[in-house]
Amino acid sequence: MKFCRIKACLAVFLGFIFAATSHGFEFSGQEFDFSGYVETRHCMQVESPNDLLASETMARLETRSFKDGWSLFTSINLSANHKLEDESGISMHEAYIDYVASSWDLRLGRQIVIWGNADGVRITDNISPSDLSEYITRDFDEIRMAVGAVKLRFLGTHGTGEVIYIPFFRKGISPDRDSPWSLGNLSGNNATAGNEPEKNIENGELGAKYALFLPGFDMAFSYFYTWNDFPYYAYTGNTGSCRVNPEFHRLHIFGLELSRPYKDFVFRGEAAFFHGNRYLSTPRDALFEKKDQVKWLLGLDWSPGSNWFLSFQVTEDRILDYSAKIQQTKQSAMVTANISKKLFREKLILSGMHYLNLDEKDSLTRLSSEYQVMDGFSLFFGSDIFTGKRSGGFGRYKDNTQVWARAKYSF
């Protein structure tokens, strides 16, 4: 019944979209802009039994109103999930108020915050938690979740300062236990009920960043006082009555970003130091080992012309002061490669992104094509290919190699 109501609302929404215009209009001296998109996407498993891994039709309506130095932005999602009907519904994607002055600006409300310059990997980009209900088979723009925050920026000639306060913690979303992307007993978002930090001012999160813009060189320093987005899992009891207890702890994250263009190239670097991470030790009923962690990335972008773009990255994750009791390996490394080409007067875009885990030798290859049928309307086709050992982060999903199709109308 709920699904039928959602489809009816979606039909009304589509009727409004096709009747409305994308141009702004003015009311009582206040300017309004309407924009958004409607898309339908479907993903099918390549291996038997060839199940649909995702099937959804979604509409997003974005409105922005302006008056003097103030603006109000809202972004609403209306989803009809054809595979998981309980996931259908209306949700607020973002909603915030902006005020812009000559040397500073303020954003208050539900917003997505992006830090860092990595491509398809998160090093210092830790403000907005992740929705991993479909692992990383969605674009990062769709994986990032909005947080209720106050963001204050100070705009200088050679740099920008930024302070962010998040009063109430919001955890990331894991795949459900009955999802094809499930992590077994560690999946399910109800498992953390009662264990999350209480919603009070003392448990808020605080971030600060300063970006320095020099001739031919950009640099940024950041700090984030936060909680782990996904719980640490502790095991208690004996084999016959083992219990899994999710825990959240405070983290201090210090970040560094570097970027330098040179002719057709852009050299990028990013690093983060995590103070206070927890790692499960052996045996499993032992306490967590509290250790610091370092993540770093080096990247190279190349735009050789003729609508080609190539990007290469290497990244490492290392536990400091490592103990042999820790179940997780001391370090892990990964390389990524991204290539894209625009054809037919940029109406067709072919692209591919490859992730290779150098330790487990497992990988994910994301192939996609976008064809612009007409202004505002595009068709997408692609595949997500998982290979390697099942002990690896990518190889565990080798049965979920999928092909997908998507149609999107933007207004």
Going by the DSSP 8-state scheme, the letter that residue 115 receives in this structure is -
Mean pLDDT computed over 107-130? 97
Residue 220: inside a domain = yes
Highest mean pLDDT among 87-91, 94-98, 131-135 belongs to: 94-98
The span from the CA of 407 to the CA of 367, in Å, is 16
Q: Strand, coil or helix: what is 394?
A: coil
pTM of the predicted structure, to 2 decimals: 0.90
Residue 219: inside a domain = yes
Mean pLDDT computed over 283-296? 84
The span from the CA of 116 to the CA of 126, in Å, is 9
The span from the CA of 38 to the CA of 316, in Å, is 38
- Start-to-end C-alpha separation, the chain: 30
Residue 352: inside a domain = no
Residue 33: inside a domain = no
**387 vs 176 pLDDT, higher one:** 387
Structure tokens at 409: 């109308």
- Cβ count within 10 A of residue 155: 14
Which pLDDT value is given to residue 22? 47
Residue 47: inside a domain = no
Comparing 34-48, 155-169, 285-299, which segment has the lowest mean pLDDT? 285-299
Give which of 145, 124, 15 is closest to 75, Cα–Cα. Answer: 145
Going by the DSSP 8-state scheme, the letter that residue 344 receives in this structure is T
Per residue in 304-314, pLDDT (tens digit) is 999 999 999 99
Residue 238: inside a domain = yes
pLDDT mean across residues, the chain: 90
Residue 407 pLDDT greater than 80, yes or no? yes
What confidence category does residue 92 fall into, taking pLDDT thresholds of 50, 70 and 90? very high
Which pLDDT value is given to residue 140? 83
Comparing 58-62, 230-234, 295-299, which segment has the lowest mean pLDDT? 230-234
Residue 214 pLDDT greater than 60, yes or no? yes
Which pLDDT value is given to residue 35? 95
Residue 50 pLDDT greater than 80, yes or no? yes
Residue 286: inside a domain = yes
What confidence category does residue 222 fall into, taking pLDDT thresholds of 50, 70 and 90? very high
Mean pLDDT computed over 130-135? 94
The range of the structural domain enclosing residue 134 comes to 101-297
Which pLDDT value is given to residue 87? 85
Structure tokens at 286: 């032992």
Number of structural domains in the chain: 1
Residue 280 pLDDT greater than 50, yes or no? yes
**85 vs 224 pLDDT, higher one:** 224
